[in-house]
Amino acid sequence: MVMKKINRNERFMLRGSLRKNGFDRWRLVTNAISCVTGEEKTFFIEFYIVNPLLSPDECVMGFKNRCEPSPEELQYALAGTESAENIAQEKYVSPSFLMIKAGCLSGRCVQINSYFPFSSIDFGSGEYILSVKDLSERVCMLSDDCSCGEVSVTEQELVRKPELLGNAGSMSWNLKFNKVISFRPDYRTSDICWSVNGGRTDFSGTIVLNEEEFIVNPRKSFGFCDKNWGRDFAVPYFHLSSSNLLSRISGKNLLSSCFALQGIFGSKIDALISIEDHNYEFRAASGKKYSVEYDFTELPSDSADRKLHWSVSVHNTKYVVDIDIFCFSSSLLVRDFECPEGGRSLMKILSGGKGTGEIRIYKYVKKNLELLEHAEIFDCLCEFGNKEYPL
């Protein structure tokens, strides 16, 4: 058996000072169909390492309550003295842990988080990227072409430990995947890197969410894999990606197509588009000039289920790409990540897996625009996020 070489940027990438002030995040996204109802849902699995060398042997969560009043302070509080104010003063710390976050981004959205100390991680020398065991000896593993694992949190645990920041429930998965379309090179700066190693990824296997089994069909998975690492998240955070495209020109499914957009990098968005083996790439770190306009807005509605709109237009001297995505608020989830800087700063990312919309690609012909492709978009991963700081 010939061992497949794993790309370097898909491995653990924190070096030097980033090990005490940085993060590394792997993400898998796929669709799956319920064995009970036949409903299709979008699932995600993320491996998030933050500040690993600050506390390698013990998980440190910045949102854990660290008010520990002494007996004297309790007496002051009972007496109502000014010194009682000291009790309310908490110690802010920087987080340090591996968090495995898994859940659903459609229907009844959910995120379930499990935490592990950095020292418990086994970074595979060649056969896998990382593996970790919990106290029950259950293994969570990620490699270049497969992943398996389980996360679970009870209601009682959430009451005792609100710093877990997620929902109660359980999810297990056993997945294989083939990354069909990747984009190179990565976006890289000294502060943030983004790698789209699976802009179109075919998944197969099973997912069990709260005892309901889902089957992953590679032809209908419309999967996505990417990776971020660096000192902090892009702020504001903007992301769109999909590989489920239907051409309005030919009427055919675009089976060798996908796109992924992310930012904000400076004032730019990286826009990576592949349509039937033709690539249209706008890269913020390339030095090549292009213009970008983007927006994230809520549309007027009389319904309680609000409709949100992501819009992007990018163009250079050769091409223009316009993308519009819509998603209902009922199909969105706010995913939470503790930021490397600590101080209870929280990255909150509004996320949905069932965005729909359109993409138009034009080519400049002298002073006119020629329409190259106009396609409908389904199962779009649509996200917008920002930081939240304690009051």
88 burial class (0-12, 13-18, 19+ CB within 10 angstroms)?
Answer: exposed
Sequence-distant (≥ 6) Cβ neighbours of residue 70 within 8 angstroms: none
DSSP for 330-347, written as a single string = GGEEEEEEE-TT-TT-EE
pLDDT digits (tens, 9 = 90+) for 243-262: 999 999 999 999 999 999 99
For residues 190-205, give the mean pLDDT: 96
Separation of alpha carbons 343 and 338, rounded Å: 9
- DSSP character at residue 106: S
Q: What is the structure's pLDDT at 287? A: 82
Structure tokens at 373: 């492709």
pLDDT tens for residues 333-363? 999 999 999 988 999 999 999 999 999 999 9
Return d(Cα 104, Cα 110) in angstroms, integer. Answer: 5
CB atoms within 10 A of CB 318: 10
Answer yes or no: is pLDDT of 236 > 90.
Answer: yes
First to last CA, the chain: 56
Residue 373: phi, psi to the nearest 5? -155, 140
Give the torsion sign (CA, 182, 44, 388, 343).
Answer: negative
325 by Cβ neighbours in 10 Å (0-12 / 13-18 / 19+) ranks as buried
List, in order, residues 6 or more apart from 51 with CB less than 8 Å away: 19, 20, 21, 22, 23, 94, 95, 96, 340, 342
> What percent of the chain clears pLDDT 90, i.e. is strictly above it?
76
Residue 330's Cβ-side half-sphere holds a number of Cα atoms within 13 Å equal to 5
Determine contact, residues 256/277, Cβ cutoff 8 Å.
yes
pTM: 0.91
Which DSSP string corresponds to 267-336?
TEEEEEEEETTEEEEE-TTS----EEEEEEEEEP-SSSS-EEEEEEEEE-SSEEEEEEEEEEGGGEEEEE
Secondary structure letter of residue 72 according to DSSP: H
Residues 14-19, mean pLDDT to the nearest whole number: 95
CB 310, CB 325: distance < 8 Å: yes
| Mean pLDDT, the chain, whole residue set | 91
Among 202, 261, 172, smallest CA distance to 31 is for: 202
Q: How confident is the model at residue 125 (pLDDT cuts 50, 70, 90)?
A: confident
Rounded to an integer, the average pLDDT of 78-97 is 64
The closest alpha carbon to 74, from 83, 66, 62, belongs to: 83
For residues 292 and 311, the answer to whether their CB atoms sit within 8 Å is no
